[in-house]
A and B are shown apart, each in its own frame.
Chain A
Amino acid sequence: MKLKPLSLLASAILLGAMSTAALAEYPERPINMIIPYGAGGATDISARAISEPLSKAAGKPMVMSNITGAGGATGSVQVKNARSDGYTMLFARVGSHTVNPAMKATLPYTLDDFRFVTVYEINPVVCAVKEGSDIQSIEDLAKKAEEGGVSYSSSGVGSMLQLAAVMVLDEFGVKDPLNKATHIPQKGGGEAATAVLNGTVTFVCTNSSALANLIANKQLKPILVTTKEPLAGFDAPTAVELGKPALTELVGWTGIAGPKDLPDDVAAKWGEWMAAAVADERFMKTMTSSGSIVELMSPEDASAFINRQYETFKKLVDKLGMRVEG
């Protein structure tokens, strides 16, 4: 946005005046919530499910808008550049806020541009192959990958799915997984699962919710879940059972963030609202029916959790040279 110096000064004064007013009685008008992914995706469903109980808790409506594009970057940038008065907030997601920042050199934002007020949903990651494939376990997959000829799908470069597949192969001892296995990116999460089903790729690692029905219908076979405890409906060993506790870091999540200068009391308000919102029965049912785990984090816990995951991913990206330049 281009502003002339004078209007910049004026808006700075205005902003100062407004923020003191906002401090007194936030929220005094509807809150604009940006969903950086398309309608009907995992983030969108999760966001719309929490919006109703959240509006009730806040006492003002939440206006949901999908601003899609570039793997969540377009919507995220819009919140980064918004006023930090708490009236423009973002539904942040694993792809847009840990994988993308770790992988993309030219991303127009970093983690430091945002202040997280909560993470409320965790999605376990499941790796699956086609039913009837000669790969029976994750060890088989690793062995076959060493020999070459293994491929995996994802919902695009810099998506959680891509990083998950590489991380799993790396953890199970495949040397140089970037060259031994072929990454075939698809346009979205649904397409990534279909690619395994029609034999375009060997395996996919993605959120349990994206695979739940394909596995229940015995079209895909799960070979790994990244939770500590076994996951209902997914008959596969957990990362801990397989002796790879590091893989438990590999989970999807949805959280809420504002611009980095978000005032403390606004963050505190969000903490209260979220505590009330996640208790809503319908929200709970929507989340658990798609295989998500509702886990409410305080602003501090959320930041720590996200930074930890970012560091894990960053280390892997640096070790394997996965960073996308240009």
Chain B
Amino acid sequence: MTFLDSLMAGLSLVSNLEVFLALGLGVAIGVIAGAIPGMSATMAVALTLPFTFSMQPVTGILLLLGVYKGGIFGGSIPAILIKTPGTPASSATVMDGYPMAERGEAGRALGMALWASCTADLVSNLSLILFAGWLASFALNFGPPEFFTLILFSLTIIAGVSGESLLRGAFSALLGLLLATVGLDLIYGTNRFTFGDPNMMGGLNFIAVLIGLFAIPEVLAMAWHPTGHLGKTRSLGKNKVTFADYKKSFRSILRGSFIGVFLGSIPGIGAAPAAFLSYSEARRKSPNKANFGKGEVEGVAAAEAGNNGVAGATLIPLLALGVPGDVITAIIIGAFMVHGLQPGPMMFVVNVDLIYGLFIGLIVSSVFLLVIGSAAIRGFKYVADIPRRILIPTVLILSIYGVFAVNNSVFDIGVMLVMGWVGYLMMRMHIPAPPFLIAFILGPLLEDNFRQAMLMSGGSPVILFRGPITWFFWGLTAITLYAILRTGLRGPKPPDSDAVASPAKN
């Protein structure tokens, strides 16, 4: 069958109203679910799955993919408006999105998040269609040693999100690494820091830590100083993103999209690290580096491009290898199986019409995301206009509800509240929260892959240099470390000196 035949077969499969309705419905469900804190994209996809069993395969799978893509974008809405990431993937969006909302630019931040998401989504889908086979065979070269070097390099992001003081950033990261060790040891299966409590055996719930660290300190700050915000203006969120904004951030969006595609095609990393990596790269390359973390629109664009770039690319290992790249694609694989379809290389021969049908549907989904996302923003941005004395207690209630809903566990609410105090103290002492989060996500990956690599080699560290991929990442790590040290040794630059000095007074 020629390419054109396959394309026509795919078109005939998807060219009915039902398919497009399912796709649109999926995106809408995803955006709304993603916008509710604690209702992650994963949960939304899992809850939608049973409804797809009675549908045609292509309809059902596109419905799920719509929920997935909508959910990843939807997470940025509360991240920007109330400093509470709706899904873990949008935690990098908080860093610049929330300061923008504080300044009364919620509409602009949300608009940029949408444009960046849709662009990245399109790039990601095109990469899936054009390079699936190539990227998949590349991803198969990633064993534990390659993973270890990639994660090690990713940890250098910490320097990029530390804000004013690298030392405070490193301290924050250490705290994150420490808390990430709670739970069962992967290799021996023994308990670590669980204090005999079964609730701690699974480790600290990621969403609880996330919301505790970002949203709760705002609540505490409000309770501590109820009238502190009155001087600051928080004008109506009526502003919009301009084409000039988009053009200015376009390079970062494109770079973020490719980072997302690259990390998404390798099974087992997920969207949150991609968002952080894209953000820190954008900051490194940007002329107004100093403004990152204080409400830079390019930061929002980079973070959202990074996490949405992952969404299409996670289908690469799924379709080309039959391997789920993350939890969400593991659920979607279930939808394939129920219809008797076996994702993998053979599917490109046996069910080529379905593959092309999915490709066409995915391209259309980027457009749907743009339309439905705009409508959602129009509705949600008025949250920014709600008076703070009403908004903040609402955030507290939403946070408690959301964290409970993840695992139906009261213990997790406790974790969130304790982390809230930790986050508040960190805020008071000018210790940045993002390094904590990155270390909390990447720390366990680093440890597990290191130990798996050591098991593979029988304890010889030589395996960590076993091929070109490892050399590449060792090289990148060395260059980045050198750059960080050089800026560090040169001492604080004149415009930064105030910023470095002021926290010392506290």
Give A residues with C-beta under 8 Å from B.
34, 38-41, 44-45, 48-49, 52, 65-71, 73-74, 77, 103-104, 106, 108, 151, 156-158, 182-188, 190-191, 193-194, 197-200, 209, 212-214, 216-219, 282, 285-286, 289-290, 324-326
Taking CB as reference atom, which chain B residue is nearest A290? B337
A48 to B342, CA, bound (A): 21
Q: Nearest Cβ distance between residue A259 and chain B, in whole angstroms?
A: 15
Interchain residue pairs with CB less than 8 A apart (24): A40-B330, A41-B330, A66-B407, A67-B407, A69-B183, A74-B199, A74-B409, A182-B455, A187-B268, A194-B268, A197-B321, A197-B323, A216-B344, A217-B322, A217-B342, A217-B346, A218-B346, A219-B321, A219-B345, A289-B338, A289-B339, A290-B334, A324-B188, A326-B191
Contact at B333–A73, with CB atoms within 8 Å? no
A290 to B335, CA, bound (A): 10
Contact at B455–A70, with CB atoms within 8 Å? no
Binary interface encoding of chain B residues 264-297 relative to chain A, with 1 for a CB under 8 A from any of its CBs, else 0: 0001100000000000000000000000000000
A65 to B183, CA, bound (A): 21
When A41-B330, A69-B201, A213-B337 are in contact, do A156 and B186 touch as well, CB less than 8 Å?
yes
The residues of A that contact B321 with a CB separation of less than 8 Å are 194, 197, 219
Contact at A156–B189, with CB atoms within 8 Å? yes
Contact at A184–B452, with CB atoms within 8 Å? yes
A285 to B144, CA, bound (A): 37
Known: A185-B186, A187-B448, A213-B322. 10 other contacts (CB 8 A): A74-B202, A106-B191, A157-B185, A182-B455, A200-B143, A200-B456, A212-B342, A213-B337, A217-B347, A218-B345
The residues of B that contact A198 with a CB separation of less than 8 Å are 140-143
Q: Is B10 an interface residue (CB 8 A)?
A: no
Q: Is B187 an interface residue (CB 8 A)?
A: yes
A266 to B190, CA, bound (A): 37
The residues of B that contact A213 with a CB separation of less than 8 Å are 322, 333, 336-337, 342-344
Taking CB as reference atom, which chain A residue is nearest B343? A213
Q: Is B54 an interface residue (CB 8 A)?
A: yes
Contact at B201–A70, with CB atoms within 8 Å? yes
A158 to B191, CA, bound (A): 13
Stretch at the interface among B42-50, B154-162, B248-256: B42-50
A68 to B207, CA, bound (A): 13
Taking CB as reference atom, which chain A residue is nearest B345? A217
Contact at B198–A108, with CB atoms within 8 Å? yes
A104 to B50, CA, bound (A): 34
Main secondary structure of the interface of A (DSSP, over half): mixed
Q: Is B203 an interface residue (CB 8 A)?
A: yes
A289 to B458, CA, bound (A): 40
A38 to B330, CA, bound (A): 11
Contact at B452–A52, with CB atoms within 8 Å? no
Q: Is B331 an interface residue (CB 8 A)?
A: yes
CB proximity to A under 8 Å, residues B211-268: 267-268
Q: Nearest Cβ distance between residue A55 and chain B, in whole angstroms?
A: 12
Contact at A326–B190, with CB atoms within 8 Å? yes
Contact at A70–B202, with CB atoms within 8 Å? yes
Contact at A282–B327, with CB atoms within 8 Å? no
Q: Nearest Cβ distance between residue A46 and chain B, in whole angstroms?
A: 10
- Nearest 9 CB-CB pairs, A to B? A69-B202, A157-B189, A217-B344, A40-B331, A39-B46, A70-B201, A213-B342, A216-B342, A65-B408
A66 to B267, CA, bound (A): 24
Contact at A45–B323, with CB atoms within 8 Å? no
Q: Nearest Cβ distance between residue A93 and chain B, in whole angstroms?
A: 15
Q: Which of A39, A70, A209 contacts B42 (CB 8 A)?
A: A39
When A40-B49, A198-B143, A324-B190 are in contact, do A70 and B198 touch as well, CB less than 8 Å?
yes
Contact at B49–A104, with CB atoms within 8 Å? no
Most chain-B CB neighbours within 10 Å: which of A40, A45, A73, A214?
Answer: A40
The residues of A that contact B324 with a CB separation of less than 8 Å are 190
Contact at A39–B43, with CB atoms within 8 Å? yes
The residues of A that contact B54 with a CB separation of less than 8 Å are 282
Contact at A71–B143, with CB atoms within 8 Å? no
Q: Is B340 an interface residue (CB 8 A)?
A: yes
A216 to B344, CA, bound (A): 8
Q: Nearest Cβ distance between residue B317 and chain A, in whole angstroms?
A: 8
A226 to B345, CA, bound (A): 27
Contact at A68–B337, with CB atoms within 8 Å? no
Contact at B334–A45, with CB atoms within 8 Å? yes
Q: Which of A38, A157, A184, A282 contacts B456 (CB 8 A)?
A: A184
Taking CB as reference atom, which chain B residue is nearest A201? B456
Q: Nearest Cβ distance between residue B107 and chain A, in whole angstroms?
A: 34
Contact at B189–A151, with CB atoms within 8 Å? no
Taking CB as reference atom, which chain B residue is nearest A287? B338
Taking CB as reference atom, which chain A residue is nearest B192? A326
When A70-B201, A187-B186, A197-B321 are in contact, do A39 and B331 touch as well, CB less than 8 Å?
yes
Contact at B334–A40, with CB atoms within 8 Å? yes
The residues of B that contact A191 with a CB separation of less than 8 Å are 267-268
Taking CB as reference atom, which chain A residue is nearest B145? A200
A174 to B43, CA, bound (A): 43
The residues of A that contact B267 with a CB separation of less than 8 Å are 190-191, 194
Contact at B327–A39, with CB atoms within 8 Å? yes
A188 to B333, CA, bound (A): 15
Q: Is B53 an interface residue (CB 8 A)?
A: yes
A166 to B483, CA, bound (A): 48
Contact at A214–B322, with CB atoms within 8 Å? yes
The residues of A that contact B43 with a CB separation of less than 8 Å are 39
A67 to B267, CA, bound (A): 24
When A73-B198, A157-B189, A187-B186 are in contact, do A197 and B344 touch as well, CB less than 8 Å?
no
When A40-B49, A40-B327 are in contact, do A77 and B268 touch as well, CB less than 8 Å?
no
Q: Is B166 an interface residue (CB 8 A)?
A: no
